[in-house]
Amino acid sequence: MPSLVHPIQIRKYKNNLHEEKQDLVAVEEPLEIRLGFGPEEERQQKSLAITMRTPGHDLELVIGFLSTEGIIQRQDEITYINHCKDHRGEESENVVRVELKPEKSLNWQDLQRHFYTNSSCGICGKASIETLEKLCPVPVSATVTVFADVLHNLPDKMRQAQNVFEYTGGLHAAALFTATGELLLMREDIGRHNALDKIIGAALSSNLVPLHSHIVVLSGRSCFELVQKAVMAGVPVVSAVGAPSSLAVKTAEKLGVTLLGFSRNNGFNVYSNAYRINENQNTK
């Protein structure tokens, strides 16, 4: 298991005094995703993306990324996934190779245009939502309801499971809960989107997707990209400790996600699809 923290010598100032001491910072490294696709006689190998992430659960991250970008719908569309080997035959920790089934259809040019649209400055919110609607034409329609007092407890449950955050204070987290508040998965990463992709990748590997009866909790704010990933995984309720963006709210409202913000201190705001919140007291 790669180290998630890195020791560093710092000078700490307080009240005009300072001391030399050792501190821990979260590790940040690039991860390249290489994709093999096409029929056996015309096989192609291309570099799909590079993301900055905290090492650990890399294969889950890649599976989740492929799923939330609409490249795969099921894990069995992948025939091979692992870290690449270097010239000495040793695993290269920062490169993962994925092979898709030969019969899996993939238009590389369309895929590149999709990534360009999602990452370019100046692309409007309307275009972003339209792109997501093409990837996921059916809104999240799960009828699950969640007790408000169950939702109050989830950020603290996630926080208690954040081992690396305790040492660095520098990692985001995403957690997957049942509708009754049972913690199923928690992942930390320097990138908010990576933490969520790791959760979704792990869930896909366990045949839990679509996550129609689950809750995702985010340690920070919510943005379009995080709601997009939730929609692709079929998550009906997303609860963020921080604030949502305007596009996150619009996307959640249009595509059927119940979006919560400021979920802390025994309260939260509901920004979309409030019908899933049960205000009665949970007696279980």
Average pLDDT estimate for 109-131: 65
Q: pLDDT tier at 254 (50, 70, 90 boundaries)? A: very high
What pLDDT is recorded for position 169?
65
Average pLDDT estimate for 193-197: 96
- Among 146, 141, 179, 144, CA closest to 278: 146
What pLDDT is recorded for position 120?
46
Is the pLDDT confidence value at 179 over 70?
A: yes
Average pLDDT estimate for 259-283: 90
Beta-bridged to residue 34, according to DSSP, are 47, 97
Is the pLDDT confidence value at 109 over 90?
A: no
Helix axes 246-255, 224-233, angle to 10 degrees: 20
The pair of structure tokens assigned to 208 is 């839990």
Average pLDDT estimate for 19-29: 87
What pLDDT is recorded for position 165?
61
Is the pLDDT confidence value at 228 over 60?
A: yes
Average pLDDT estimate for 207-232: 95
Q: Which residue has the tokens 């290489």?
A: 34
Q: For the ranges 39-43, 77-81, 201-205, which has the lowest average pLDDT?
A: 39-43
In tens, the pLDDT along 255-266 reads: 999 999 999 988
Is the pLDDT confidence value at 131 over 50?
A: yes
Which strand (E) or helix (H) includes residue 173? strand 172-178
Task: Give the C-alpha separation, 159 to 262, whole Å.
Answer: 15
- Among 144, 140, 155, 145, CA closest to 268: 155
User: Catalytic amino acids?
Assistant: 121
